[in-house]
Amino acid sequence: MTAGRGYYQEWGKPAQELNPGDVVNIPPEVKHWHGAAPDSWFAHLAVEVPAEGASNEWLEAVSDEDYNKLRK
């Protein structure tokens, strides 16, 4: 992450807070979301390593109920 404050969460696991300088390595096929904290903005760089047979699929949005559980 480059600036602001945000969160990363893998499906079925607790959300982890992200701050400038944090790096998250996301293996292929891991359902997750990432974005700004409720009281902040969020800037990040994403690097995708091409893999044969792999694809990127956007899934459902994070529910307001789940998002509002995050620390503000």
pTM of the model: 0.84
23 falls within a domain: no
Apex 49 CA angle, 29 and 16, nearest 5: 55
Residue 24 belongs to some domain of the structure? no
Look at residue 26 and tell me if it is in a domain. no
The structural domain count of the chain equals 1
Judged against a pLDDT cut of 80, whether residue 13 lies above it is answered with yes
Q: Looking at the domain assignment, is residue 61 inside a domain? A: yes
Q: Which domain holds residue 8?
A: 1-18+31-48+56-72
Residue-wise pLDDT for 34-62, tens only, equals: 999 999 999 999 988 887 887 778 899 99
Task: Name the band, by pLDDT with cuts 50, 70 and 90, for residue 72.
Answer: low
Considering the chain, what is the average pLDDT of its residues?
91
The token duo for 14 is 């607790």
Q: Is residue 8 part of a domain?
A: yes
Contact between 38 and 27 under an 8 Å Cβ cutoff? The reply is: no
Alpha helices in the chain (DSSP H): 64-67
Let me know if residue 69 belongs to a domain.
yes
Identify the pLDDT of residue 71: 73
